[in-house]
Structure 1
Amino acid sequence: MERSTCDVLIIGGGISGGSLLYLLANYTDIEHLCLVEKCDSLDALNSNAHNNSQTLHEGDIETNYSLEKAKHVQAAAGLTKTYALDVAGDDSMIRRYGKMLLGVGDEEVATVRKRFEEFKELFPTLELLDADGIGQLEPHVALVDGSLRDEPIAALHNPEGYAVDYGKLTDHLVKTAQEADGKTVEVLLSTTAKKLKRVDDGFEVRCGDRLMHARFVVVSAGAHSLLLAQKMDYGTNLSVMPVTGSFYFAPKVLDRKVYTVQNDKLPFAAIHGDPDLTAPDKTRFGPTALVLPVLERHNAKTAWGFLESFNFDNDVAAVLYELMKDKDIHDFVYRNLGYEMPYYGKRSFLKAARKIVPSMQVEDLEFAKGYTGIRPQLIEKKERRLMMGAGKIDEGDGIIFNMTPSPGATSALDNARVDMNSIASQLGCTIREDAFKSVFNQSAQVTSSTTSDVGHM
């Protein structure tokens, strides 16, 4: 078996792994990096543009974000926006559509108006719209047969809202890392990392037909991360609950992203409508949220991995029981189950879509085949609670496990910045603060993620 060495081994070739590879290659003095990905291409799973909502979350229209959280999310999103716009400069990677938060009914309208007063200083481009204002920007949202819809509506609109192809972003991050001067950066595709073993001076990891020795390991393998962690006796207090999201297509009826008011009890965005970077003639509605016993959608072989990391016991049962006792959560689970059913699914989904586009008809909806992703929601067994935000294990001993980025891919560079600081501290490496700040206009020095308690697919 071939043997090789590196300073840092990154397991997982999605947006999380790609972001860390880029930061370590360009802003530290670490010399030898290696990234391994089990698929035959980067960003094949959740980072692919088909498998997420393509939203750059900034905290302006996400109603489960407090003002303080929104400040942190805005900073995290700033890294991604700066890279896509200024470093990559690829119009196909990021596009400005504008974003809207729609409130329907008296209670939600009041929520929207209150939020505007609280958030308008943080987001100077934010606008409060009444029904007529909404109709001027999104007539399909405000009007039915040429007249204003019956329910009272109001909206927050931010023209500075962006959609991002996180798959293309991942590709560019990795390519830029490989081009870093004076660095050895290996990328191994179609290579499964397994049999992680701690040795005196780091770790040995079997990567395909190669035995890799690494001084430091970072696992950013999505729903697989907890499984790998628990095989090394980390995260035994956690259980994974994979939540898959699917989408429906409709004809092009929206020009910007339209979100709705979120239920604070749920760690997922409410169904929203979006222009799609990969299907410009359509509007995509979703995501649904369905718990499935697999670590990858449409890959039954990952069911065993789910069973290993689900770790069903009395604590997990207690959490699930408490969740299902809540009427809002109970109804949410069964409603989303219905969305996935043949024939009945789109008829059930129509009601949710009509909250955004009231004139929508069942024949307008088409299940978006092949558009799906998985969010590994975590259960804290000892505390018997559903973890609502990001999931990370970093005990300061040479290995990090990233399980659930939050809010989604938006925070990947921010999360990678946290990992870069941890790695530099543990390995005694130097971070190039001035170089980082010259690109991102933010400090490279952070000690914890800025987006730890929020969640979106």
Structure 2
Amino acid sequence: MKNKHYDVLIVGGGISGTALFYELAKYTDVKSLCLLEKYEALSTLNSKGTSNSQTIHVGDIETNYTLEKAKITKRTAKMIEKFCLQYGLEDKIMFAHQKMALGVGKKEVHFIESRYNEFKELFPYLELWDVAKLKELEPKLVYADKEQTKIRPEPIIAMGTSTQYTTVDFGEMSEALALQAQQASDAITDIFYHSQVEQVEEMGDKTFKVTTTNGEQYTADFVVVDAGAHSLFLAHQMGYGKHMGCLPMAGSFYMTDGHFLNGKVYMVQNNKLPFAALHGDPDILAEGKTRFGPTALMLPKLERFKPGTYLDFWKTLNFDLKIVKIFWDLLKDSDIRNYIFKNFLFEVPFINKKLFVQDARKIVPSLSVDDIEYAKGFGGVRPQVLDKEKEKLMLGEASINPGCGIIFNMTPSPGATSCLGNAERDLKVVVEYLGLEYDEAQLLKDLTEEAL
């Protein structure tokens, strides 16, 4: 039986865990790091390229982001880009595509025009594209028929750019982060696979004991849990985050049988709906095809396409009358109720394609049922956190830091884009707690456009 001690132990080998692993190894004087991954490789779940939309979420075309949120996400998105450029990963795992937010109908056209004027100072590369320009850039958005002779009846406009990096295989990026971490440091940087964490215990001497399901034990002075929905499961075991419950939302996609879009096309978000609006993306793992989605379906399990985790879901949901009230308040709204019901039907064979195409035609009016297939094996689970104190669904990331040497992170979208920024936040906590040296100037120089 192994029993090893580390300065810092990270639970979870997805994009969030490997980002912290990398930053600690490269920019601090930590002596020993350990990363425990449940499965046989890094990023087999939500960070896997087929489990997400592969998008660098900057805040320029995501219409549910406020200007203040966009300022934050712009910084963290730039960190993704600068990491990939630093190691020559452009056109290997990071790609530049055209991207836009499309407004359909008078109300959305007005919204896009207003948003463009509000956001153009923060994103000076953004352009406003009218129908004439869209005919050149994305003709399938403009025409109502496949022969491209008939213009769609609704007014449309888009704000977008053709000059930015837009797309990353976050699974491959996790591998790159782990590799560079081990090459950048003289510290011990151990990664153990097939190591599912069963329990984390706080010891009396300010250390933590981490036990895996196969009986291996590790101790550490600081533990960071970056394990998606399982983070809250482990937090609850230790008595933390009891005011939170987890609602796992699964996203599915549909794939075209050929090339439909030249770049990313995002829709105007309905602010009542806490889930991503439908979008179309050129899929970097399915060459020449366009992926439409995601749908949003509540699943009573913590992992998509993996056996088990049903019991973990019920424990993590933390079910009581306050959870019932959150559900009731959500379902009282007809927009949300209809959305949830429709997304359930998107999963039902024989009727799902026909229903989905009706929505996707808002992007490509000429899209037909024969053009798409349900993308089997694509999609992941995002842990949406329910706040029982405020009795509402929390949007964005949730992090539990009780201040005693352990952090639990739950990162729904845009968690992958924010991975290096979130790691920087946690790194500062670790450095202060353990009294480590931290080369902040080098991190800022390498990963941001800032300087000390």
TM-score range, shorter chain: over 0.9
User: What is aligned with 1:147?
Assistant: 150
Deviation at 1:409, TM superposition (A): 0.6
CA–CA distance in 2 between the matches of 1:88 and 1:219? 29
Deviation at 1:47, TM superposition (A): 0.3
User: What is aligned with 1:230?
Assistant: 236
Q: Is the 8 A contact 1:37 1:188 kept in 2?
A: yes
Deviation at 1:202, TM superposition (A): 0.9
Deviation at 1:406, TM superposition (A): 4.4
TM-score (norm: length of structure 1):
0.95
User: What is aligned with 1:212?
Assistant: 218
Flag structure 2 segments of 5+ consecutive residues without an equivalent.
Answer: none
Deviation at 1:372, TM superposition (A): 1.3
Give the direction of change, closer, same or farther, for the CA distance of 1:443–1:420 in structure 2 (3 Å limit): farther
Q: Is the 8 A contact 1:436 1:442 kept in 2?
A: no
Match of 2:296 among 277, 289, 306: 289
Q: Does 1:198 align with 2:199?
A: no
Q: Which secondary structure state, in structure 1, belongs to the residue aligned with residue 342 of structure 2?
A: helix
Deviation at 1:161, TM superposition (A): 4.6
Q: Is the 8 A contact 1:436 1:443 kept in 2?
A: no
CA–CA distance in 2 between the matches of 1:102 and 1:58? 16
User: What is aligned with 1:450?
Assistant: none
Q: Does 1:180 align with 2:218?
A: no
Deviation at 1:146, TM superposition (A): 2.3
Q: Which secondary structure state, in structure 1, belongs to the residue aligned with residue 287 of structure 2?
A: strand
TM-score (norm: length of structure 2):
0.96
The range that moved more, 87-96 or 303-312, is 87-96
Q: Is the 8 A contact 2:267 2:277 kept in 1?
A: yes
Identical aligned residues as a percent:
45
Q: Does 1:352 align with 2:359?
A: yes
Match of 1:305 among 312, 324, 345: 312
Q: Does 1:401 align with 2:418?
A: no
Q: Which secondary structure state, in structure 2, belongs to the residue aligned with residue 50 of structure 1?
A: coil
Q: Is the 8 A contact 2:78 2:448 kept in 1?
A: no
Counting only pairs closer than 5 Å after superposition, residues 7-406 of structure 1 correspond to structure 2 as: 7-144=7-144, 145-159=148-162, 160-199=164-203, 200-207=205-212, 208-250=214-256, 251-406=258-413
CA–CA distance in 1 between the matches of 2:92 and 2:153? 38
CA–CA distance in 2 between the matches of 1:438 and 1:76? 14
User: What is aligned with 1:452?
Assistant: none
Flag structure 1 segments of 5+ consecutive residues without an equivalent.
Answer: 446-457
Q: Which secondary structure state, in structure 2, belongs to the residue aligned with residue 79 of structure 1?
A: helix
Q: Which secondary structure state, in structure 2, belongs to the residue aligned with residue 239 of structure 1?
A: strand
Bigger strand share: 1
What do residues 164-188 of structure 1 show as CA deviations (whole Å, max 9, x unaligned)? 1000100000001111232110000
Q: Is the 8 A contact 2:243 2:387 kept in 1?
A: yes
CA–CA distance in 1 between the matches of 2:448 and 2:298? 40
CA–CA distance in 2 between the matches of 1:296 and 1:84? 28
CA–CA distance in 2 between the matches of 1:335 and 1:181? 50
Deviation at 1:98, TM superposition (A): 1.7
Matched positions, count: 445
Give the direction of change, closer, same or farther, for the CA distance of 1:189–1:300 in structure 2 (3 Å limit): closer
CA–CA distance in 2 between the matches of 1:17 and 1:412? 8
Q: Is the 8 A contact 1:431 1:444 kept in 2?
A: no
Write out the 4+ residue segments of structure 1 that deviate beyond 6 Å after TM superposition: none
The range that moved more, 329-338 or 294-303, is 294-303
Give the direction of change, closer, same or farther, for the CA distance of 1:65–1:152 in structure 2 (3 Å limit): same
RMSD: 1.3
CA–CA distance in 2 between the matches of 1:252 and 1:406? 26
